[in-house]
């Protein structure tokens, strides 16, 4: 069993070596970026697919068509998870817990948590690792519903942003989180390792003499102020070969098109016919040609088996989305198959199952985040510490789906016995045509009273 106190008491170089040991190492971003970035795909490699050199020494560039399907898969998965914002459901049992829930949610909203979640999902699904650090900054404010001398902020690190992450576990328990970054000092790149435990933050710096402790400060939170999440493979998994094959097929076909798309005018005659005396279209408004009797002339068209190429690309594209359980939302795909609204909803079944599969690690990540933010709030509001600790919070991930507002309202009305769902004023606000919903409601009520008075007379 690893003891974090013993590790931190070692010489800096030995401590860093221990802190950077990982039980499981996900794929390195330096390898993943070659699949994620279309500019680094094999079809762009001039060593594997060189340009042509003509006999006169001129370089003729070949067609190179790239597809950003790995980036598309990353964005699609993030949209499915975060398209309907991730919610925190609070179940306060008394007024103190209700106040605690309002303060807690205010911290998340002030940190633009919905945007942060999208960025984190993009980083996780492409780079396989993310770490979010929560920390206080000294600044007087009233952002969370009470006066405070501190703001609570968060920052996310991932290999995509050149940060190396090192979680250290001991018998399944996380005992330290370390972030390795490179900073420029006097035009030199210097490596730093920031290590966070439940009671210490230590910064190691690699100088000319090796690793040294640059800073050490206590953590009063009582827990590691950071959360970590990883997945063993990027979201596109083993489908890059399909993408590469589509790129090769399209690029090679592009070469044939360029070579054979030049118009060819052919003359079939038994006698020699001379060409080249035609003037430009700017100098003459018509051209007269004369051919021997019995000859024919016309443009030759290039017949290519384009249907087989379309079928090949379509099958590869379908295999890509099918294997990843992601919907093909492209405009061309959606318009080519006429479907009812209910049928389109069925397209999301596989994607919803995919989100459910991914939700395990994400919910664990978000639950730990709620726990960390709770601890910070308890430090800012010690009089609510017990209520904050006891407050039940459930994080809910709702897979994105096409929904009809009319269907939702009908279902809710049927469930509550056709009782009103919102007030008259709230419906005016929802419509958005009125600049002041209260004044509009008052005018409507006055007009109704006048109409009723006139009818009574």
Buried/exposed code over 41-65 (b: 16+ C-beta within 10 A; e: otherwise): bebbeeeebeeeeeeeeeeeebebb
Q: How many helices (H) and strands (E) does the chain have?
A: 15, 14
Could you state, in order of their start, the residue ranges of all structural domains in the chain? 4-236+353-396, 405-456
Confidence of residue 395 (pLDDT cuts 50, 70, 90): very high
Q: What is the mean pLDDT of residues 345-368?
A: 87
Q: What percent of the chain has pLDDT over 90?
A: 55
Q: What is the mean pLDDT of residues 381-386?
A: 93
Of residues 407 and 269, the one with the higher pLDDT is 269
By C-alpha distance, which of 137, 187, 185, 177 is closest to 157? 177
- Position 3 scores a pLDDT of 86
- DSSP state at residue 306: H
- Position 34 scores a pLDDT of 95
Of residues 227 and 291, the one with the higher pLDDT is 227
Confidence of residue 453 (pLDDT cuts 50, 70, 90): low
Confidence of residue 171 (pLDDT cuts 50, 70, 90): confident
SS3 content of the chain, % helix, strand, coil (to 5): 45, 20, 35
Residue 281 pLDDT exceeds 70: no
- Position 120 scores a pLDDT of 96
Q: What is the mean pLDDT of residues 220-246?
A: 94
Count Cα neighbours of 67 within 13 Å in the Cβ-side half-sphere. Answer: 20
State both tokens at 324: 């990843």
Q: Which of 56-65, 204-213, 276-285, 429-438 has the lowest mean pLDDT?
A: 276-285
Please state, in angstroms and rounded to a whole number, the distance separating the CA atoms of residues 441 and 424. 7
Of residues 225 and 331, the one with the higher pLDDT is 225
Q: What is the mean pLDDT of residues 85-96?
A: 92
Contact between residue 372 and residue 133 where contact means Cβ atoms under 8 Å apart: no
For residue 58, the Cα-to-chain-centroid distance in whole angstroms is 43
Q: Which of 6-20, 176-190, 300-314, 437-451 has the lowest mean pLDDT?
A: 300-314
Please state, in angstroms and rounded to a whole number, the distance separating the CA atoms of residues 136 and 223. 14
Sign of CA dihedral 168, 170, 171, 173: negative
Residue 214 pLDDT exceeds 90: yes
- Three-state DSSP at 422 gives coil
Biggest CA-to-CA distance, the chain: 107
Residue 423 pLDDT exceeds 90: no
Confidence of residue 223 (pLDDT cuts 50, 70, 90): very high
State both tokens at 230: 């990883």
Please state, in angstroms and rounded to a whole number, the distance separating the CA atoms of residues 197 and 164. 17
Please state, in angstroms and rounded to a whole number, the distance separating the CA atoms of residues 256 and 305. 12
CB atoms within 10 A of CB 238: 10
- Position 372 scores a pLDDT of 96
Residue 452 pLDDT exceeds 70: no
- Position 331 scores a pLDDT of 64
Q: What is the mean pLDDT of residues 264-274?
A: 76
Q: Which of 190-194, 248-252, 378-382, 441-445 has the lowest mean pLDDT?
A: 441-445
Torsions phi, psi for 170 (to 5 deg): -135, 110
Q: What is the mean pLDDT of residues 402-422?
A: 75
Indicate the angle between helix axes 113-127 and 69-82, nearest 10 degrees: 140
Of residues 433 and 144, the one with the higher pLDDT is 144
pLDDT digits (tens, 9 = 90+) for 313-346: 888 988 998 888 887 766 666 666 666 556 666 7
Torsions phi, psi for 140 (to 5 deg): -70, 135
- Position 384 scores a pLDDT of 93
Q: What is the mean pLDDT of residues 410-433?
A: 79
- DSSP state at residue 351: H
- Position 285 scores a pLDDT of 65
pLDDT digits (tens, 9 = 90+) for 5-61: 999 999 999 999 999 998 888 999 999 999 999 999 999 999 999 998 888 888 888
- Position 15 scores a pLDDT of 94
Please state, in angstroms and rounded to a whole number, the distance separating the CA atoms of residues 157 and 196. 14
Q: Which of 183-187, 193-197, 209-213, 227-231 has the lowest mean pLDDT?
A: 183-187
List Cα–Cα distances, 400 to 98, 134, 327, in angstroms.
Answer: 29, 28, 11
Q: Are strands 210-218 and 87-90 parallel, antiparallel or unpaired?
A: unpaired
Confidence of residue 236 (pLDDT cuts 50, 70, 90): very high
Which DSSP string do the residues of 47-92 spell out, in sequence order?
A: TTSPPEE-TTS-EEPPP-----HHHHHHHHHHHHHHSS--EEEE--
Please state, in angstroms and rounded to a whole number, the distance separating the CA atoms of residues 214 and 212. 6
Please state, in angstroms and rounded to a whole number, the distance separating the CA atoms of residues 344 and 341. 5
By C-alpha distance, which of 169, 171, 190 is closest to 181? 190
Confidence of residue 271 (pLDDT cuts 50, 70, 90): confident
Q: Residue 89's beta-bridge partner residues? A: 394
Contact between residue 32 and residue 126 where contact means Cβ atoms under 8 Å apart: yes
pLDDT digits (tens, 9 = 90+) for 103-151: 999 999 999 999 999 999 999 999 999 999 999 999 999 999 899 999 9
Which DSSP string do the residues of 177-227 spell out, in sequence order?
A: EEEEEEEEETTEEEEEEEEE-SSEEEEEEEETTEEEEEEEEE--SSS-SEE
- Three-state DSSP at 285 gives coil
By C-alpha distance, which of 203, 196, 204, 158 is closest to 174? 196
Q: What is the mean pLDDT of residues 296-310?
A: 72
pLDDT averaged over the chain? 87
- Position 26 scores a pLDDT of 92
């Amino acid at each position: 069993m690893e003891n974090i106190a013993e590790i931190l008491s070692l010489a800096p170089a030995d401590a860093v070596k221990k802190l950077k040991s990982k039980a499981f190492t996900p794929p390195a971003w330096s390898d993943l970026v070659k699949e994620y970035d279309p500019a680094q795909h094999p079809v762009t490699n001039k060593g594997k697919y060189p340009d042509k050199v003509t006999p006169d020494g001129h370089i003729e560039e070949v067609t190179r068509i790239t597809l950003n399907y790995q980036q598309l898969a990353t964005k699609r998965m993030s949209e499915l998870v975060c398209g309907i914002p991730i919610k925190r459901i609070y179940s306060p049992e008394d007024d103190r817990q209700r106040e605690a829930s309002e303060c807690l949610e205010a911290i998340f909203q002030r940190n633009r948590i919905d945007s942060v979640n999208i960025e984190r999902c993009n980083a996780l699904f492409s780079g396989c690792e993310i770490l979010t650090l929560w920390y206080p900054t000294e600044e007087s404010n009233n952002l969370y519903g009470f006066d405070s001398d501190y703001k609570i902020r968060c920052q996310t690190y991932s290999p995509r942003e050149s940060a190396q992450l090192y979680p250290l576990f001991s018998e399944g328990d996380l005992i330290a989180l370390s972030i390795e970054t490179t900073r420029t000092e006097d035009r030199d790149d210097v490596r730093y390792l920031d290590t966070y435990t439940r009671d210490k933050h230590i910064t190691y710096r690699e100088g000319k003499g090796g690793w040294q402790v640059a800073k050490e400060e206590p953590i009063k939170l009582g827990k590691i102020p950071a959360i970590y999440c990883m997945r063993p493979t990027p979201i596109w998994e083993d489908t890059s070969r399909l993408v590469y094959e589509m790129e090769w097929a399209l690029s090679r076909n592009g070469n044939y098109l360029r070579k054979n798309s030049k118009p060819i005018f052919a003359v079939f005659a038994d006698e020699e016919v001379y060409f080249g005396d035609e003037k430009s279209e700017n100098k003459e408004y018509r051209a007269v040609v004369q051919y021997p009797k019995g000859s024919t002339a016309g443009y030759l068209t290039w017949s290519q088996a384009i249907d087989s190429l379309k079928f090949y690309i379509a099958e590869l594209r379908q295999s890509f989305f099918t294997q990843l359980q992601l919907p093909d939302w492209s405009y061309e795909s959606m318009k080519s198959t006429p479907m009812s609204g209910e049928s389109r909803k069925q397209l999301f079944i596989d994607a919803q199952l995919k989100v459910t599969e991914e939700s395990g690690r994400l919910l664990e990540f978000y639950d730990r985040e709620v726990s960390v933010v709770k601890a910070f709030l308890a430090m800012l509001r010690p009089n609510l510490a017990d209520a904050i600790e006891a407050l039940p919070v459930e994080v809910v991930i709702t897979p994105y789906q096409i929904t009809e507002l009319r269907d939702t309202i009908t279902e809710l009305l049927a469930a509550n016995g056709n009782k009103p769902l919102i007030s008259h004023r709230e419906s005016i606000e929802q419509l958005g045509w009125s600049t002041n919903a209260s004044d509009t409601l008052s005018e409507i009520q006055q007009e109704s009273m006048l109409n009723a008075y006139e009818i009574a007379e």
